[in-house]
Chain A
Amino acid sequence: MFIEKIEKEVLLKPLQTVIGIVERKQPLPILSNVLIEKTGHLLHFVATDLEIQIATQINDTNQAEPTDESLTVAAKKLHEILRVLPEGSKVALEIQENRLHVKAGKSKFNLQTLPARDFPKILEHFEQSEKIQLKQAQLKKLIGLVQYAMAQQDIRYYLNGVLLVVEGANLKLVATDGHRLAFTSAKLDKEYPKTEVILPRKTIVELVKLLEENDEEISVEFAENRVRINFSGITITSKVIDGKFPDYDRVIPSYTNHLALDRLVILQALQRAAILSNEKFRGVRLILTEKNLRVSSSNSEQEEAQEDIETDYHGVALDIGFNVNYLLDGLNNTAADTVVFSFGDPNSSILITVPGNDEFKYVVMPMRI
């Protein structure tokens, strides 16, 4: 017996954890499978797409005579079956002639398997590595502050991810798609040697899904071309992007022309203006005059939107265009009540920061409208 009796919820949870990276349309059949390894009372679940591997385990205490067995089976199908079984069902799994029999009450399923030895596990053993530790919630927040700025399928492959820099006691995260750049940093518990890696987009997306808002420790280990992230019994092993991230410091400006705004007020004004912005280019104009910020947009049908926001602005007048989605991304992903927009000239970027917090910087390039 592979699993004699287990509650469906217990079995479902590790499957849910690893299933995120399993692609449904998979040219290599075994990659659509999940590897389940049983060693004594421990059940290991592993899924991989050859770039990232996610592993987790549960304890199966119901085993009368624990054996060492392993198999691979279609991850999505098993997950789907377990998900729709009645709540509290007890599930039994049995391997017979390379098939997995799933029994729960009066339901029976028979799934094909592939040999576990063919499963391409990424080597989890790290020869030499640096390891940093921080709180799960902290990392989740940091990634949330930058991840929307990652590029997607860009020729500049090194932009398709988030740059992670450890420098002294500082952890910095940077993401850019060539039009905007998000930067954030945080203090670590102690000093570490300098390390820089680019985590691929998919790893970041999975990580955010799996991280929880708690104070549990998470460790990130860096080896030559891989990282291993350990938290809550989950191990993510990922390749890193082999490339050189652009010099982000040169892109972050320092302007003297500041405008403090209530985040929700500007966010909502932009959301309304966005409705009538050009469908393709998404341009909105920010027109800055004495004590007033006007947000205006128009689309190809010449429909127009205009919002006026009262400010305490005293600097030079300015008329500058932006892709509204870029501004919304930045504003949506900060939690602060107030944000500060810093301007250069109409052809220069804008810097969005949070007052009293120099750990977040968001740079957006303008548009010609």
Chain B
Amino acid sequence: MPAIQLLPDLLISQIAAGEVIERPASALKELMENSLDAGATEIAVQLEGGGVRLLRVRDNGGGIAPDELPLALKRHATSKIATLDDLRRVPSMGFRGEALASMAAVAQVTLTSRNPEATHAWQIQAADGMQSDAAPAAHALGTSVEMRELYFNTPARRKFLRSEATEFAYCEEAFKRIALSRPEVAFSLQHNNRVVWQLPVSPLPPGEGSGVGERLLQQRIAALLGDEFARGAAIVDRRAGGLHLYGMASLPACSRVSRDAQYFFVNSRFVRDKVVAHAIRQAYQDILHGQRHPAFALFLDMPPEQVDVNVHPAKSEVRFRESQAIHRFVFHTLQQALGAPAAPAENISETPRQTAPFVQQQYAMPLHAAAEPLALYDALFGNRDSGTSGQESESEKSLSAACRLSDDTGIPPLGFALAQLAGIYILAQNRQGLVVVDMHAAHERIVYEKLKAALDGQHIPAQPLLIPASFSADALDIATAEEEQAALAQLGFDIAPISPAALAVRAMPAPLKQAHAEAAARDVLRELREFGATRALTERRNELLATLACHAAVRANQSLTLPEMNGILREMERTARSGQCNHGRPTWFQISIAELDAMFLRGR
């Protein structure tokens, strides 16, 4: 039996390094975050051999005072917090004081820095727990950290590193996350002396005080995720209470097959959080087709004391004080942003209106086209005007932004129907050119949204069950059922424990009385526990409504008159999420005159 002894310092650091410095990418993340915390506006990253051979981060931040240099590489040494109280509202990215020390334990680290007070830069080197004395060096204002030969002294770990390409891919991903989170900072990334990313902060035209931040962010997102993403994405921006969610989320038509390009930042920190992930998935629930995944870059700003970032050494997980509120906020914000009704983006192909300094512009006459006759709709739903007015006005409000440009001229965004093609598609003409609408898909969505709106406002009546459905449940489920009685009652459920290991469903929400009581109850309890909120019921109800809508919608080969087709187009403009059918397929396409001209080689 070996005797108990204190471990040598180097070994402690090496063990700790296993958690903090998993691979070059984690070192890169730590170093870039340090640079940001130092107030840098330009960060250059150089990698060699996937970051294993060399990883250098150079910034123009505040620098480190010469006498603090040796301390910087020590474990649990930091300038970022001083007391436990600071920890509750950490404004900086890092605070644990582990990163540099861990790196110094498993790699050869050179730290060069010059702060504004120093006349020249100083440099120290560390390897294998040994630290050199500070020596004068040449460096501009700011700090460079160079890490060579990661894991040179822990061969066991080095074996776990993947190929150069893989390690580089991880580094690039870490780089992208940080670059996304700080659009006001210029970044560059080189690998094996080849420039991979060059992300300058492009100067914006002066005099545009407000909205500069958003413009920078949108430029950065477009640069990193591609123009295609930026064009096919909805802009999200909503504040409520202390929360602010902004960024871009892909419209369903521009979704992806894989889960890449999903970025969520809490207070500029990239996180993976299952509450947030669930909320986002819910927001895309009935507009995303099958196995496709949304792409997004979303930023949630909130008071630091409401979120605990000290959950994981790499801080990629967070814990929200009020996860239920966050879930609801993210879900509603995103759903609203994605739900804006269909309207072609007016400005995409058009050149900006005020290019020339001296442009005369004709005002259009405010012609109000009277409503088209909608025999079909009246037959299906009775008189439209007496319908649900509350919902209508809200969706009309969100439409107004898209519509304002065309409002004056009386040309609706989706134009006027020309003809029906093969009994399936509506062809329409609008200002940009040709609009092709899948009439069944479009109408299905219209009916579905109407059914949803009609039911959403209502209180859900509970339907007591003649014979309570009992099922065996584990302690967690029972505890949830007891804690969340109020929430369950609101949903129309009455679930009570009947023994230490069994629950009974005594009442079900009336719209779901046909559903399987046990399965529904389990779903609801699981979601309440994990996400603090449940939409499992709404989802189930929506599935029923979707089926109803599918049967109520016009079918293929039903011949429609022009007024009826125009009626569908006008309804689409009014309906939220009308760009996708209930199954996430797109409902319409725009083919611009320019695209048609190109097909016919006109104007070449």
Q: Which residues of A contact B (CB under 8 A)?
A: 155-159, 176, 178-181, 242, 244-247, 250-251, 278, 281, 283, 321, 323, 347, 349, 363, 365-369
Are B367 and A246 within 8 A (Cβ)?
Answer: yes
Are A367 and B367 within 8 A (Cβ)?
Answer: no
Are A365 and B362 within 8 A (Cβ)?
Answer: yes
Are A156 and B365 within 8 A (Cβ)?
Answer: no
Are A366 and B360 within 8 A (Cβ)?
Answer: no
Count of inter-chain pairs, beta carbons less than 8 A? 72
The answer to whether the Cβ of B80 comes within 8 Å of any Cβ in the partner chain is: no
Chain A residues within 8 Å of B371, by CB: 244
* Contact partner, B364, options A155, A244, A365, Cβ 8 Å: A365
Chain B residues within 8 Å of A323, by CB: 362
Are B410 and A178 within 8 A (Cβ)?
Answer: yes
Chain B residues within 8 Å of A158, by CB: 369
Are A176 and B363 within 8 A (Cβ)?
Answer: no
Measured in the bound complex, the distance between the Cα atoms of B360 and A283 in whole Å is 7
Measured in the bound complex, the distance between the Cα atoms of B255 and A236 in whole Å is 56
Measured in the bound complex, the distance between the Cα atoms of B363 and A325 in whole Å is 14
Closest partner residue, chain A, to B409 (CB atom) = A178
The answer to whether the Cβ of B66 comes within 8 Å of any Cβ in the partner chain is: no
Closest partner residue, chain B, to A246 (CB atom) = B367
The answer to whether the Cβ of B361 comes within 8 Å of any Cβ in the partner chain is: yes
Q: Say how far A232's CB is from chain B's closest CB, in angstroms.
A: 35
Measured in the bound complex, the distance between the Cα atoms of B364 and A181 in whole Å is 11
Measured in the bound complex, the distance between the Cα atoms of B308 and A237 in whole Å is 80
Measured in the bound complex, the distance between the Cα atoms of B416 and A195 in whole Å is 24
The answer to whether the Cβ of B473 comes within 8 Å of any Cβ in the partner chain is: no
Q: Say how far A241's CB is from chain B's closest CB, in angstroms.
A: 11
- Besides A176-B367, A250-B366, A367-B361, 9 other CB < 8 A contacts? A155-B415, A181-B365, A244-B372, A278-B360, A283-B360, A365-B364, A365-B365, A367-B360, A368-B360
Chain B residues within 8 Å of A367, by CB: 360-363
Chain A residues within 8 Å of B411, by CB: 155-156
Are A369 and B369 within 8 A (Cβ)?
Answer: no
Chain B residues within 8 Å of A366, by CB: 363
Chain A residues within 8 Å of B360, by CB: 278, 281, 283, 321, 367-369
30 contacts between A and B (CB under 8 A): A155-B411, A155-B415, A155-B431, A156-B367, A156-B409, A156-B410, A156-B411, A156-B416, A158-B369, A159-B367, A176-B365, A176-B367, A178-B409, A179-B365, A181-B365, A245-B370, A246-B368, A246-B369, A246-B410, A250-B368, A251-B365, A251-B366, A251-B367, A278-B360, A281-B359, A281-B362, A283-B360, A349-B363, A367-B361, A367-B362
Q: Say how far A198's CB is from chain B's closest CB, in angstroms.
A: 13
Chain A residues within 8 Å of B429, by CB: 155
Chain B residues within 8 Å of A251, by CB: 365-367
Are A178 and B365 within 8 A (Cβ)?
Answer: yes
Measured in the bound complex, the distance between the Cα atoms of B365 and A323 in whole Å is 13
Q: Say how far B50's CB is from chain A's closest CB, in angstroms.
A: 57
Closest partner residue, chain B, to A302 (CB atom) = B358
Measured in the bound complex, the distance between the Cα atoms of B430 and A80 in whole Å is 42
Chain B residues within 8 Å of A156, by CB: 367, 369, 409-411, 416
Measured in the bound complex, the distance between the Cα atoms of B411 and A245 in whole Å is 13
Measured as residues with beta carbon below 8 angstroms from the partner, the interface class of chain B is 20 to 34
Are A244 and B361 within 8 A (Cβ)?
Answer: no
Q: Say how far B369's CB is from chain A's closest CB, in angstroms.
A: 5
The answer to whether the Cβ of B562 comes within 8 Å of any Cβ in the partner chain is: yes
Measured in the bound complex, the distance between the Cα atoms of B370 and A363 in whole Å is 20
Chain A residues within 8 Å of B365, by CB: 176, 178-181, 251, 349, 363, 365
Chain B residues within 8 Å of A278, by CB: 360
Measured in the bound complex, the distance between the Cα atoms of B411 and A157 in whole Å is 10
Are B370 and A247 within 8 A (Cβ)?
Answer: yes
Q: Say how far B566's CB is from chain A's closest CB, in angstroms.
A: 9
Q: Say how far B571's CB is from chain A's closest CB, in angstroms.
A: 16
Measured in the bound complex, the distance between the Cα atoms of B409 and A154 in whole Å is 11
Are A347 and B363 within 8 A (Cβ)?
Answer: yes
Q: Say how far B470's CB is from chain A's closest CB, in angstroms.
A: 62
Are B370 and A246 within 8 A (Cβ)?
Answer: yes
Are A155 and B362 within 8 A (Cβ)?
Answer: no
Measured in the bound complex, the distance between the Cα atoms of B367 and A368 in whole Å is 19
Measured in the bound complex, the distance between the Cα atoms of B410 and A269 in whole Å is 33
- Which of A178, A242, A247 has its CB near the most chain B CB atoms (within 10 A)? A178
Are A155 and B416 within 8 A (Cβ)?
Answer: yes
Chain A residues within 8 Å of B368, by CB: 246-247, 250
Measured in the bound complex, the distance between the Cα atoms of B368 and A91 in whole Å is 56
- Which of B369, B371, B562 has its CB near the most chain A CB atoms (within 10 A)? B369
Q: Say how far A96's CB is from chain B's closest CB, in angstroms.
A: 44
* Contact partner, A365, options B363, B370, B416, B430, Cβ 8 Å: B363
Measured in the bound complex, the distance between the Cα atoms of B131 and A132 in whole Å is 107
Measured in the bound complex, the distance between the Cα atoms of B373 and A244 in whole Å is 10
Q: Say how far B454's CB is from chain A's closest CB, in angstroms.
A: 29
Chain B residues within 8 Å of A281, by CB: 359-362
Chain A residues within 8 Å of B431, by CB: 155
Counting from the closest, the 5 A-B pairs by CB-CB distance are A281-B360, A246-B367, A283-B360, A365-B363, A368-B361
Chain B residues within 8 Å of A242, by CB: 562
Chain B residues within 8 Å of A159, by CB: 367
Q: Say how far B416's CB is from chain A's closest CB, in angstroms.
A: 7
Measured in the bound complex, the distance between the Cα atoms of B409 and A365 in whole Å is 12
Are B369 and A178 within 8 A (Cβ)?
Answer: no
Chain B residues within 8 Å of A179, by CB: 362-365
Q: Say how far B556's CB is from chain A's closest CB, in angstroms.
A: 25
- Which of A155, A179, A366 has its CB near the most chain B CB atoms (within 10 A)? A155
Q: Say how far B527's CB is from chain A's closest CB, in angstroms.
A: 48
For chain B, residues 428 to 466, give those with C-beta under 8 angstroms from any C-beta of chain A.
Answer: 429-431
Measured in the bound complex, the distance between the Cα atoms of B430 and A160 in whole Å is 16
Measured in the bound complex, the distance between the Cα atoms of B187 and A306 in whole Å is 57
Measured in the bound complex, the distance between the Cα atoms of B31 and A51 in whole Å is 76
- Which of B365, B371, B415, B562 has its CB near the most chain A CB atoms (within 10 A)? B365
Measured in the bound complex, the distance between the Cα atoms of B416 and A277 in whole Å is 35
Known: A155-B416, A155-B429, A156-B410. A178 touches B370 (CB 8 A): no
Measured in the bound complex, the distance between the Cα atoms of B367 and A157 in whole Å is 13
Are B369 and A244 within 8 A (Cβ)?
Answer: yes
Chain B residues within 8 Å of A244, by CB: 369-372
Q: Say how far B243's CB is from chain A's closest CB, in angstroms.
A: 39
Measured in the bound complex, the distance between the Cα atoms of B361 and A281 in whole Å is 8
Chain B residues within 8 Å of A369, by CB: 360
Measured in the bound complex, the distance between the Cα atoms of B364 and A347 in whole Å is 11
Known: A156-B410, A321-B360, A367-B360. A178 touches B416 (CB 8 A): no
Measured in the bound complex, the distance between the Cα atoms of B410 and A247 in whole Å is 11
Measured in the bound complex, the distance between the Cα atoms of B357 and A64 in whole Å is 78
Measured in the bound complex, the distance between the Cα atoms of B372 and A243 in whole Å is 8
Q: Say how far B312's CB is from chain A's closest CB, in angstroms.
A: 57
Chain A residues within 8 Å of B359, by CB: 281
Measured in the bound complex, the distance between the Cα atoms of B361 and A41 in whole Å is 61
Are A178 and B363 within 8 A (Cβ)?
Answer: no
Closest partner residue, chain B, to A247 (CB atom) = B368
Q: Say how far B357's CB is from chain A's closest CB, in angstroms.
A: 12
Q: Say how far B560's CB is from chain A's closest CB, in angstroms.
A: 14
Chain B residues within 8 Å of A247, by CB: 367-368, 370
Closest partner residue, chain A, to B368 (CB atom) = A247
Chain B residues within 8 Å of A245, by CB: 370
Measured in the bound complex, the distance between the Cα atoms of B364 and A251 in whole Å is 11
Chain B residues within 8 Å of A283, by CB: 360
Known: A244-B372, A278-B360. A155 touches B366 (CB 8 A): no
For chain B, residues 325 to 363, give those with C-beta under 8 angstroms from any C-beta of chain A.
Answer: 359-363
Known: A155-B430, A155-B431. A368 touches B370 (CB 8 A): no
Closest partner residue, chain A, to B415 (CB atom) = A155
Chain A residues within 8 Å of B361, by CB: 281, 367-368
Measured in the bound complex, the distance between the Cα atoms of B365 and A247 in whole Å is 11
* Contact partner, B416, options A157, A180, A347, A349, Cβ 8 Å: A157
Q: Say how far A245's CB is from chain B's closest CB, in angstroms.
A: 8
Measured in the bound complex, the distance between the Cα atoms of B565 and A242 in whole Å is 14
For chain B, residues 361 to 402, give those with C-beta under 8 angstroms from any C-beta of chain A.
Answer: 361-372
